[in-house]
Amino acid sequence: MKNTLLVPIKYLLVYILVAAIMTLGVYVYSWCENPLPLSGGMHDHVDLMFRGLYAVMVPASLVALVILILMLQHGKGIPWLLFLALWFSFSGLLYVQVSILRPYRPLPPRTAAPVEIPQRIHSYQKGAVYIEESFTQGKPAVMMSVSGNPQLSAGRIGKVSEDSVRIGDMSLSRSPKNPFFNEALQTPPIISAIFRDFKVLSSFFAFTHSSSFTRAVLTIASFGFLISSCWIFGRFTSWPLLNTVYLLFVLRIVVLLSALMLSPEAQELFQAFVPEVRLADYAHYIFAAGGLLLVLWDLIFIPFHRFPRKGRTA
């Protein structure tokens, strides 16, 4: 019973750590694409960090859940009580996040406004520019171009726009916009796709919460039930590392299919067969059915303890 009561506490502590790390990462990437004026004060930066927290609330919950599931496989406790504690912890935290953070706006879109910092080297994809004062026609600057044959040119800016700058015969595209980061820090496509799916789910939960309290509780609880039921893949084999890969892969598939189900394309396809019925209205039934199948599979085929503890035989 003690181990069961500790599950929510462990989950919350792991979540705080994961959410803090992911929020900081999103803040860095967001500032890379949407640089804030250094003289704008702390308010804009804090606001951006809260938007980052809004973006990571679902993925951070899932990552914390994966870590906790792997931790539970080596501990004691009654399986069904541990599962209920896991389910309630994940669903409860997700509901709190949706109800508290939903007023915050999502991350701002990329803007075309470039950064201009005097006496700094502005690094771009195909070169760099050093400005003494500003990106203004006639102001002194030094340009280093690395496309083709590397060239270095010093002189006065002849032509400047939001997309390019020219000194003499050399022209350089001003992208990426942030002088402190380069493409090595741009979000990989697979990470962007995962966060796009999480954004669909977060938006759906927030919309559901604003329309109906009862429906929001049912939807989040059923989604939490489905996600928690995936814990069987955390002990699918006798190899912890392989179980981690299985668990992450299955959760990615579940999130992807959930986002696809809630997409407008899926709604149009569903209405072609069942007119005047919204697929999203039955999302909680679909989540609950998927979770129930996994629970039945768990009870019939998957033993709870894959690893014999000291004093026990395999």
Asked whether the beta carbons of 167 and 153 are under 8 A apart, the reply is: yes
What number of residues does the chain have?
314
- What tokens were used for 278? 């919204």
d(CA 45, CA 28): 11
pLDDT at 109: 53
Which residue positions in the chain have pLDDT lower than 50?
38-39, 112, 308-314
pLDDT given for residue 37 in this prediction: 53
Q: Rounded CA gap, 264 and 275, in Å?
A: 14
Q: Which two tokens stand for residue 265?
A: 């394309």
pLDDT score for 9: 92
Residue pair 52/23 in contact by the 8 Å Cβ criterion: yes
**Which pLDDT does position 121 carry in this prediction?**
82
Reported in sequence order, the residue ranges of the chain that DSSP labels E, i.e. its strands, are: 120-124, 127-131, 140-145, 151-160, 164-167, 170-173
The SS3 of residue 291 is: helix
Give the C-alpha separation, 94 to 227, whole Å: 12
pTM exceeds 0.85: no
Look at residues 169, 204, 176 and name the one whose alpha carbon lies nearest to residue 281: 204
Strand 120-124 versus strand 127-131 pairing type:
antiparallel
Closest of 280, 87, 90, 294 to residue 201, by C-alpha: 280
Give the number of C-alpha atoms closer than 13 A to the C-alpha of residue 306, restricted to the C-beta side: 19
Q: How far apart are CA 100 and CA 202, in angstroms?
A: 12
DSSP letters spanning 171-239: EEE--SS-TT--GGGSPPHHHHHHHHHHHHHHHHHHHHHHH-HHHHHHHHHHHHHHHHHGGGGGGSSS-
> What CA–CA distance (Å, rounded) separates 6 from 126?
53
pLDDT score for 207? 85
Q: Residue 288: CB partners within 8 Å, gap ≥ 6?
A: 222, 225, 226
- What does the CA dihedral 281, 282, 284, 285 come to, rounded to 10 degrees? 160
* Tens-place pLDDT, residues 81-124: 889 999 999 999 999 888 876 655 555 555 545 667 788 888 77
